Amino acid sequence: MNFRTMQAANRRKTIGLLIGMAILMWCVVYAALTYFGGSSAAIVPIAVGISLISVWGSYYGSDKLVLTMTGAKLIQESDNPKLFGLIQEVIIASGMPMPKVAIVIDSAPNAFATGRNPEHALIAFTTGILDAMDREQLQGVIAHEMAHVANRDTLVSAVAATTAGAIAIVSDMLARMMFFGGRRENNNNANPLALIVSLFILILAPLAAVMLKSAISRKRESLADATAVSFTRNPAGLRSALEVLAADSTVVQQRSTAVAHIWIESPLDSKSVSKMFSTHPPIQERIAVLRSMESLN
């Protein structure tokens, strides 16, 4: 499998997962209607509205917001000519506009990309990653971050977060209704089995939404690895960079867990967290995939 087929497969899977998200939303609405009757229909637009406002506000200002949340500082070319030279190499390879560049003062090696479109992109690196990696490894990391920008992953994760947020709000509201008033309308013709199933859906939907959101995030990470190789044609660079990250046990001093998914190596996922909920594929798996691409050359 080369990077082109890998990119296509990852894109298809993301679309499949987003469709899964839509189906889940539909199930929740259907369950709400079955259990509570027509009056609960009003909850859905309210929940979607709240979720849209909160998520899209942060999507639009993602570059500025993330700067304050991670404590990253913007830098100019004169501050680090070597890093800018490396970024320019990847820019030329990908044909994208130059992003803003920021540094996070943190000894843990990590990096991230954000911004609502390639014109408003921001990529950031910790001082730890700049110290720990050589030219080729850093080039792989930059290509991975620019791949997130090229694949518009800020948009994809915003869509996923909106849907997951809306589902959580709907379930939460319905749970309160259940607690305080139970079923308002007596629709006697309802099938008891359907009622039980609906209740289950309402309880489990938020969990399923978070799992789908994490699955989308994992697919986007794999896609970014494949796209990075399409830029540099050098899987070895990114692979050895990931090996450095895997060998390092220090974790970025996160100020907020809300931005955990944007880093190249997850600051949250530890062995205790189930794979279903992690935002990144296991790093050894990513290394193995890149190794298989190397053997093709």
Partner 1 sequence: MRTIIILGAVALIAVFLISQYNRLIRLNITVDEAFAQIEVQLKRRADLIPNLVETVKGYAKHEQSTFDAVVTARAKATSATGVADTAAADGMLTQALRGLLAVAEAYPDLKASTNFLSLQEELATTENKVAFSRQFYNDNVRELNTAVRTIPSSFFAGFAKVGEREFYEVEDPQDRIAPNVKF
Provide the binding-site residues for partner 1, judged by CB under 8 A.
82, 85-86, 88-90, 92-95, 135, 139, 232-233
Structure tokens at 15: 């679309």
- Our CB check for partner 1 shows the closer of 73 and 82 to be 82
Q: How do beta strands 100-104 and 111-114 pair?
A: unpaired
**Residue 75 beta carbon to partner 1: minimum distance, rounded to whole angstroms:** 17
- 89, 136, 145, 243: which one is catalytic? 145
- Our CB check for partner 1 shows the closer of 95 and 192 to be 95
**Residue 127 beta carbon to partner 1: minimum distance, rounded to whole angstroms:** 19
- Our CB check for partner 1 shows the closer of 73 and 135 to be 135
**Residue 240 beta carbon to partner 1: minimum distance, rounded to whole angstroms:** 14
Residue 145 appears among annotated catalytic residues: yes
How are the residues of the chain apportioned to helix, strand and coil, as percentages rounded to the nearest 5?
Answer: 70, 5, 25
Residue of 86, 113, 101 whose CA lies nearest to 231? 86
User: What DSSP letter does each residue of 16-85 carry, written as one string?
Assistant: HHHHHHHHHHHHHHHHHHHHH-GGGGGHHHHHHHHHHHHHHHHHHTHHHHHHHHHT-EE--GGG-HHHHH
Tally the residues of the chain. 297
How far apart are alpha carbons 96 and 230 in whole angstroms? 13
Q: Residue 5, class by beta-carbon neighbours within 10 Å (0-12 exposed, 13-18 middle, 19+ buried)?
A: exposed
- Our CB check for partner 1 shows the closer of 189 and 295 to be 295
Residue of 12, 40, 13, 24 whose CA lies nearest to 208? 24
The residues facing 187 across adjacent strands are none
- Our CB check for partner 1 shows the closer of 91 and 208 to be 91
**Residue 95 beta carbon to partner 1: minimum distance, rounded to whole angstroms:** 6
Q: What amino acid occupies position 181?
A: G
Residue where the block lists tokens 């947020």: 165
**Residue 85 beta carbon to partner 1: minimum distance, rounded to whole angstroms:** 4
- Our CB check for partner 1 shows the closer of 82 and 176 to be 82
**Residue 140 beta carbon to partner 1: minimum distance, rounded to whole angstroms:** 13
Q: Which residues contact 90 (CB under 8 A, 6 or more apart)?
A: 139, 142, 143, 146, 231, 232
* Catalytic center residues: 145
